Amino acid sequence: MTTLKPAVFLDRDGTLNIDRSYITAPEHLQLLPGVAAALKQLQGAGFACVVVTNQSAVGRGMMSDADLERVHEELNRQLALDGVALDAIYACTFAPTSNDPLAVEHPERKPAPGLLLRAAAELNLDLAQSWMIGDTLRDILAGQNAGCRGCILVRTGQAVDEREFHRAMPFVMLDDLQAAAHFILKEPRTK
């Protein structure tokens, strides 16, 4: 019998790196301060760290799948400089047609839970013991829709209209990934 591992699912832009709208080239990727240290702490406590990211620039024709792979190689390179390796990166490249950022148009595009569900199945992750961290309500909803234990909205990315919070309550709102890691590590394990 395989033992399931808890995970921290992480949005990419605005959570791990500076959100520059569409990052279409490796040289545009810049990690936010403290990201590597936070990931190191989470992994040291036994959490898998898995990026789940909407990357519609591919679906919009602004970049290719190969370009996206190069951006993720750069993300991994920058993290490796601080001794961190992500457990996996999952990306949905579908381009939405709705103006509602919380509309579900594709099973893997957040706020749908597909990326988290696929990661859990492929990496033997325990969703009920896992957390989702992101900078948008669609990240929070993806975590909730996947059955994560908790979801944390960080203030390092896109501004969130607080009038929309009711669409994703309850969740925790913190300053950055370091604060989120600290919060998670203080929470008692339920199993």
What pLDDT, on the 0 to 100 scale, is given for residue 158? Answer: 80
Does a structural domain hold residue 28? Answer: yes
- CA-CA distance, 102 to 104, in Å (whole number)? 6
pLDDT(71) > 70? yes
With tokens 């829709």, the residue in question is 145
Does a structural domain hold residue 159? Answer: yes
CATH code of the domain covering residue 12: 3.40.50.1000
Residues present in the chain in total: 191
pLDDT(191) > 70? no
Q: What is the mean pLDDT of the chain?
A: 94
**Rounded average pLDDT over 169-180:** 94
**Rounded average pLDDT over 28-57:** 97
Number of domains in the chain: 1
pLDDT tens digits, 21-33: 899 999 999 999 9
Does a structural domain hold residue 177? Answer: yes
**pTM strictly above 0.85:** yes
Residue 86 CB neighbours (<10 A):
18
Does a structural domain hold residue 1? Answer: no
Does a structural domain hold residue 161? Answer: yes
Q: Give 129's DSSP letter.
A: G
**Catalytically annotated residues:** 11, 13
Does a structural domain hold residue 2? Answer: no
Domain membership of residue 62 as a residue range: 7-186
